[in-house]
C-alpha cells in the first residue's frame, strides 16, 4: 500500500511539474537570465558561454515539457499565467497558455533546434567576426527562442500578438549583426553593404505588416466571441457568417503568408536572413519561420469553418511559391541566399499539403464526408512530416554553411569556394547528406515526405475525379505538375550548390587562403557533433518513417473532426489507409524499391569500373594552362541551363526602375556579357513602395499645408467623433 501511495505521489509531482503555468515560469526564468547575463557582463568572456548554457538548459526543459504531453498524447490543458483587468468596459488582458498535441510537436521541434544551436554556438561564436558582438547575439538568441516557444503555446489574442512582436524584435536585433560588422570592419563591396543596411528595416516593416493583418483578423473573430481567449474563438467558429469567415481567412492568409514568405511576399526572406549570424539560421529558417504554418493550421481549421475554395487558393499560391523560389535558388550566387530561397520553396510544399487538407475539410459534393475527412487528415500528416523533415535537413545545411563560414572567414560565394571536400571532409560529407536529403534522394528523409505529399494529392485527385468535379480536378493536376517540376529543379539546384562548393579544385589559391586565415583543420567538435547528429536524423527519418508517422497520426487525430487509422506497427514501412475504394498510401514499397535499385546501380558501376583501364590522362584543353578559377564551371554557367529557358540571361539593368529593394542579382560582371537575374517580385515591391511614398507625400502636402483654419477643423471633427462614440457606447454593457 505504501508503495502505491509513493507512486501516486511521484505521479502527482510530475503532473504538477508539467502544469503549463509552472513550466512556463521555469522556462521563462531560464531564458530570461540568459538574456540578461550576457548584457550585464558583456566584457567578461564567460558571460556568453553562460548565456548559451542557460539557453541549452531552457531548451532541454522545454523539450522535456513538450515530450511530457506528447508521450502519450494528453488532453488539451489551459492555464492562465498572468491576468490584469485594466479597463472594466474591455476584456481583461491575460497571458493564457494551452498545451495540446499540435503545440507539443512544435515546442519539441523549436526547443530541440534551440538546444542544437546552443551547443553548436559554443564553438561557432568563437570566430573572429563574431567576437565583438557575441554577447548581443547570445542575448537576442535567448529572447528569440523563448518568444518562439511562447508564441506556440499562447492561447489568447493579447499574448499571441505580444509574443509575435517579441519574436520580431529579437530576430530584428540579430539581423543588425551584419550591418554592425560592416561598420566596424568595412564591407567587401557596396552591394553587400546596402543589403546589410536595409535588411533590418525591411524585416521590421514586413513583420509589422503581417502582425497588423493578423491583428485585424483575430479582432474580427474576438468581437462576436466577446472574448480574447482562443478557446472562445474555437467555440464560435461554427457560428461565423460566411462573409465574415471569408474576410478573416483572406486577412489571416495575407498576414501569415507574409510571415511565412509565400510568394509574392517571399522577397524579404533572402534579403533579411543572410544578414543574421549564420549559427542562428538553423533555428530561424529551420523551424521558427514555420510558426506561421502552425498558426495557419490553428486559424484555418480551428478558428474558422473551412471552405473548399480556401484550399484551392492556398494550394495554387503554395505550388507557385515552390516553383518560383527554387528558380531563384538556382540563380543565386552564394550559399546563404540559395538556402534562404530553398527554405521558402519547402514552405510552399508544406502549405500545398495544408491546401489539400482545407479542400477536403469542407463538405464536397459527391464525396462521402468521412472519406473527405480522412483525405484531409492524410494531407495534414504529409504536411507535418515534411515540416519535420525540412527542419532537419535544412537545419543540417545551415549548420554546415555556418561551419564553412567559420572555416573560411565568411566566404560563402560559389565563385570563391570549391574543393572543400578535400580541405574539410567532415563538414563536406555532412553537407552532401543534407543535399541528398533536400533533393529527395532515398534513403534520406526528404524522399519520404515528398512522396507522401504527392500520394496525398493523387488520392485527392482520384476523389475529385470520381465526383465529376472537373475544374477542381484540373487545379489538382496543374498543382501536381508544378510540384513535380519544383522537386526536379531542387535536385538540379543542389547538384550546382554541392558541386560548386565541395567538389573540383579550390577556386581560391593557397596563398589567398593563408592571407585570409582560412582554418587548416575541420570544424571544432561541438560543431561536428551537431552536424553528425542532424545527418543521422536525415537517414533515420528516411529509413524508419513509421515511428514518426504514428505520432503524427495521433496528433492529427487529436484535432476535432479528423479521423485516421493509425499505421500498422511496421519498422521499415508506412501504410496509411483511406476508406476510398480501399486506397492505401504506401511509402515502404517505393522506398524499398528505390533502395534496391540504388544498390544494384552501385554494384553495376563498381563491376564495370573494376575492368576499366586505370590510366586517366588529362583532358585536352587546347594547350591552355589549367587554373582552378578560370577552367571550372561557374555558378552563372550552370544556372544558365535553366535561366536560358525562362528569361533573357543577358538582360541589362533598367536605370529608370526604383531600387528601394535590390532587385538585381549580378552573376557575371563581364563588359561584353554581363549576366543579371532580375527579382521581378522585388521590382514589383519597389514600384509599390514608390507609389506609397508618392501618395504619402501628396497627402502630407494636402493635410499639413500650414493653414490654421484647416487644423481647427481637424480638432472640431475629432471632438464630434469622440462625442458620438461616447453616446453610442454608453449604453453597451461591459
Q: What is the pLDDT of residues 401-425, one digit of tens each?
A: 999 999 998 888 888 888 898 899 9
Is the pLDDT score of 4 beyond 50?
A: no
Residue, of 545 and 291, whose pLDDT is higher: 291
3-state secondary structure of 126: coil
C-alpha distances out from residue 467 to 311, 461, 479, Å: 17, 10, 19
pLDDT, tens only, 298-351: 999 999 999 999 999 999 999 999 999 998 998 888 899 999 999 999 999 999
pLDDT band with cut points at 50, 70 and 90 for residue 367: confident
Calpha distance 120→118 (Å, rounded): 5
pLDDT at 733: 46
3-state secondary structure of 489: helix
**Average model confidence (pLDDT) across the chain:** 83
HEC string of 611-671 equals CCCCCCCCCCCCCCCCCHHHHCCCHHHHHHHHHHHHCCCCCCCCCCCCCCCCCEEEEECCC
| Cell numbers that stand for 566 in this block | 493509425
Q: Cis bond leading into 72, ω under 30°?
A: yes
The fraction of the chain above a pLDDT of 70, given in percent, is: 81
DSSP tag of 566: P
Evaluate whether residue 653 is within a structural domain: yes
Q: Are 381 and 575 in contact (CB under 8 A)?
A: no
| Cell numbers that stand for 507 in this block | 577556386
Q: Alpha-carbon torsion 449, 454, 455, 461, what sign?
A: positive
Residues 414-428: b if buried by 16+ CB within 10 A, e if exposed: bbbbbbbbebbebbb
Evaluate whether residue 551 is within a structural domain: no
Is the pLDDT score of 203 beyond 50?
A: yes
Residue, of 727 and 586, whose pLDDT is higher: 727
Highest mean pLDDT: which of 72-76, 134-138, 177-181, 186-190? 134-138
pLDDT at 472: 87
Section 426-441 average pLDDT? 92
Is the pLDDT score of 476 beyond 70?
A: yes
* Least confident piece of the model among 9-18, 543-552, 645-654: 9-18
Q: Residue 229: phi, psi to the nearest 5?
A: -75, 135
* Least confident piece of the model among 353-367, 378-392, 606-620, 717-731: 606-620
Evaluate whether residue 354 is within a structural domain: no
* Count of other CB atoms within 10 angstroms of residue 726: 9
Calpha distance 134→47 (Å, rounded): 10
Calpha distance 327→639 (Å, rounded): 9
Calpha distance 575→566 (Å, rounded): 9
Q: Are 419 and 425 in contact (CB under 8 A)?
A: no
pLDDT, tens only, 546-591: 778 888 888 888 765 555 544 444 433 455 544 443 444 445 445 5
pLDDT at 629: 60
Calpha distance 285→48 (Å, rounded): 23
- Contacts of residue 530, defined as CB under 8 A and 6 or more positions apart, other chains included, come to 116, 119, 120, 399
* Count of other CB atoms within 10 angstroms of residue 478: 13
Section 601-619 average pLDDT? 65
3-state secondary structure of 720: helix
| Cell numbers that stand for 141 in this block | 538568441
Section 247-263 average pLDDT? 95
Of residues 425, 434, 404, the one with CA closest to residue 416: 404
pLDDT at 293: 95
pLDDT band with cut points at 50, 70 and 90 for residue 708: confident
Evaluate whether residue 286 is within a structural domain: no
Calpha distance 141→167 (Å, rounded): 10
Residue, of 608 and 357, whose pLDDT is higher: 357
- The H or E element spanning position 99 is strand 93-99
pLDDT at 555: 86
pLDDT, tens only, 258-306: 999 998 899 999 999 999 999 998 899 888 999 999 999 999 999 999 9
Evaluate whether residue 239 is within a structural domain: no
pLDDT band with cut points at 50, 70 and 90 for residue 73: low
369 HSE (CA, 13 A, CB side): 4
* Count of other CB atoms within 10 angstroms of residue 192: 16
Calpha distance 257→262 (Å, rounded): 5
pLDDT at 556: 86
How many domains does one find in the chain?
A: 1
Evaluate whether residue 532 is within a structural domain: no
pLDDT at 212: 94
Calpha distance 504→198 (Å, rounded): 35
Listing DSSP states for 372-393 in one string gives HHHHHHHHHHHHHHHHHHHHHH
pLDDT band with cut points at 50, 70 and 90 for residue 595: low
pLDDT band with cut points at 50, 70 and 90 for residue 668: low
Calpha distance 273→666 (Å, rounded): 19
Calpha distance 721→616 (Å, rounded): 87
Q: Provide the strand spans (E) within 296-408.
A: none
Q: Are 256 and 295 in contact (CB under 8 A)?
A: yes
The fraction of the chain above a pLDDT of 90, given in percent, is: 39
C-alpha distances out from residue 559 to 75, 101, 104, 460, 682, Å: 11, 8, 13, 20, 38
Evaluate whether residue 350 is within a structural domain: no
- Contacts of residue 629, defined as CB under 8 A and 6 or more positions apart, other chains included, come to 415, 507, 508
pLDDT band with cut points at 50, 70 and 90 for residue 636: low
- Residue 13 pairs with which residues in a beta bridge? none
What's the burial of 77, exposed, middle or buried (CB within 10 Å: 0-12/13-18/19+)?
Answer: middle
pLDDT at 78: 76
Is the pLDDT score of 75 beyond 80?
A: no
Evaluate whether residue 75 is within a structural domain: no
Is the pLDDT score of 2 beyond 60?
A: no
Q: Residue 94: phi, psi to the nearest 5?
A: -150, 160
| Cell numbers that stand for 551 in this block | 505520432
**Alpha-helical runs (H) found in 503-544:** 510-515, 525-543
Rounded to a whole number of angstroms, the distance between the first and last alpha carbons of the chain is 54
Q: Are 125 and 523 in contact (CB under 8 A)?
A: no
**Domain coverage including residue 662:** 636-729
pLDDT, tens only, 123-149: 999 998 898 899 999 999 999 999 999
Amino acid at each position: 500500500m505504501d508503495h502505491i501511495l509513493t507512486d501516486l505521489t511521484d505521479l502527482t509531482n510530475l503532473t504538477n511539474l508539467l502544469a503549463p503555468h509552472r513550466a512556463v515560469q521555469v522556462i521563462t526564468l531560464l531564458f530570461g537570465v540568459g538574456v540578461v547575463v550576457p548584457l550585464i557582463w558583456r566584457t567578461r568572456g564567460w558571460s556568453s558561454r553562460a548565456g548559451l548554457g542557460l539557453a541549452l538548459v531552457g531548451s532541454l526543459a522545454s523539450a522535456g515539457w513538450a515530450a511530457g504531453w506528447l508521450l502519450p498524447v494528453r488532453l488539451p490543458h489551459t492555464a492562465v499565467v498572468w491576468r490584469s483587468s485594466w479597463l472594466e468596459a474591455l476584456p481583461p488582458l491575460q497571458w493564457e497558455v494551452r498545451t495540446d498535441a499540435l503545440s507539443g510537436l512544435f515546442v519539441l521541434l523549436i526547443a530541440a533546434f534551440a538546444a542544437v544551436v546552443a551547443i553548436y554556438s559554443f564553438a561557432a561564436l568563437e570566430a573572429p567576426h563574431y567576437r565583438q558582438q557575441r554577447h548581443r547575439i547570445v542575448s537576442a538568441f535567448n529572447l528569440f527562442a523563448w518568444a518562439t516557444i511562447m508564441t506556440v503555446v499562447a492561447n489568447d489574442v493579447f499574448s499571441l500578438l505580444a509574443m509575435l512582436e517579441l519574436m520580431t524584435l529579437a530576430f530584428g536585433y540579430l539581423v543588425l549583426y551584419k550591418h554592425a560588422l560592416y561598420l566596424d570592419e568595412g564591407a567587401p563591396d557596396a552591394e553587400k553593404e546596402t543589403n546589410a543596411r536595409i535588411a533590418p528595416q525591411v524585416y521590421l516593416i514586413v513583420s509589422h505588416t503581417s502582425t497588423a493583418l493578423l491583428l485585424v483578423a483575430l479582432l474580427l473573430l474576438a468581437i462576436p466571441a466577446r472574448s480574447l481567449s482562443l478557446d472562445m474563438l474555437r467555440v464560435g467558429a461554427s457560428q461565423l457568417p460566411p462573409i465574415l469567415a471569408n474576410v478573416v481567412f483572406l486577412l489571416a492568409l495575407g498576414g501569415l503568408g507574409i510571415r511565412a514568405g509565400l510568394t509574392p511576399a517571399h522577397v524579404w526572406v533572402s534579403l533579411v536572413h543572410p544578414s543574421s549570424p549564420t549559427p542562428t539560421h538553423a533555428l530561424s529558417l529551420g523551424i521558427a519561420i514555420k510558426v506561421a504554418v502552425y498558426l495557419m493550421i490553428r486559424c484555418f481549421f480551428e478558428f474558422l469553418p473551412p471552405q473548399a475554395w480556401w484550399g484551392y487558393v492556398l494550394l495554387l499560391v503554395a505550388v507557385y511559391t515552390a516553383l518560383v523560389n527554387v528558380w531563384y535558388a538556382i540563380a543565386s550566387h552564394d550559399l546563404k541566399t540559395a538556402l534562404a530561397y530553398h527554405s521558402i520553396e519547402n514552405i510552399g510544399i508544406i502549405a500545398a499539403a495544408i491546401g489539400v487538407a482545407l479542400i477536403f475539410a469542407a463538405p464536397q459534393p459527391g464525396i462521402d464526408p468521412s472519406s473527405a475527412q480522412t483525405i484531409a487528415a492524410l494531407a495534414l500528416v504529409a504536411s507535418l512530416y515534411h515540416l519535420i523533415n525540412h527542419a532537419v535537413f535544412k537545419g543540417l545545411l545551415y549548420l554546415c554553411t555556418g561551419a564553412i563560414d567559420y572555416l573560411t572567414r565568411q566566404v560563402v560565394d560559389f565563385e570563391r569556394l570549391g574543393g572543400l571536400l578535400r580541405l574539410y571532409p567532415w563538414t563536406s560529407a555532412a553537407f552532401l547528406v543534407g543535399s541528398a536529403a533536400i533533393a529527395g534522394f532515398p534513403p534520406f528523409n526528404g524522399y519520404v515526405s515528398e512522396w507522401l505529399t504527392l500520394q496525398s494529392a493523387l488520392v485527392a485527385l482520384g476523389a475529385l475525379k470520381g465526383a465529376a468535379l472537373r475544374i477542381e480536378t484540373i487545379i489538382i493536376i496543374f498543382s501536381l505538375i508544378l510540384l513535380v517540376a519544383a522537386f526536379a529543379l531542387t535536385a538540379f539546384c543542389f547538384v550546382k550548390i554541392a558541386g560548386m562548393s565541395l567538389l573540383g579544385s579550390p577556386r581560391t589559391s593557397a596563398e589567398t587562403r593563408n592571407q585570409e586565415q582560412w582554418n587548416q583543420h575541420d570544424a571544432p567538435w561541438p560543431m561536428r557533433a551537431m552536424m553528425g547528429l542532424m545527418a543521422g536524423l536525415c537517414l533515420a527519418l528516411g529509413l524508419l518513417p513509421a515511428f514518426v508517422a504514428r505520432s503524427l497520426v495521433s496528433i492529427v487525430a487529436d484535432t476535432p473532426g479528423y479521423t485516421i487509422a493509425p499505421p500498422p506497427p511496421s519498422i521499415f514501412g508506412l501504410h496509411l489507409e483511406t476508406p476510398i475504394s480501399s486506397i492505401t498510401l504506401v511509402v515502404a514499397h517505393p522506398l524499398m524499391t528505390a533502395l534496391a535499385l540504388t544498390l544494384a546501380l552501385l554494384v553495376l558501376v563498381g563491376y564495370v569500373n573494376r575492368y576499366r583501364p586505370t590510366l586517366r590522362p588529362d583532358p585536352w584543353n587546347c594547350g591552355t594552362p589549367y587554373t582552378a578559377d578560370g577552367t571550372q564551371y561557374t555558378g552563372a554557367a550552370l544556372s544558365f541551363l535553366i535561366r536560358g529557358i525562362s528569361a533573357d540571361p543577358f538582360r541589362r539593368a533598367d536605370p529608370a526602375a526604383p531600387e528601394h529593394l535590390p532587385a538585381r542579382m549580378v552573376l557575371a560582371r563581364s563588359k561584353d556579357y554581363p549576366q543579371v537575374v532580375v527579382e521581378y517580385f522585388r521590382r514589383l515591391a519597389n514600384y509599390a513602395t514608390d507609389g506609397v511614398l508618392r501618395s504619402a507625400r501628396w497627402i502630407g502636402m494636402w493635410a499639413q499645408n500650414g493653414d490654421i483654419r484647416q487644423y481647427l477643423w481637424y480638432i472640431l471633427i475629432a471632438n464630434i467623433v469622440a462625442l458620438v462614440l461616447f453616446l453610442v457606447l454608453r449604453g453597451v454593457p461591459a
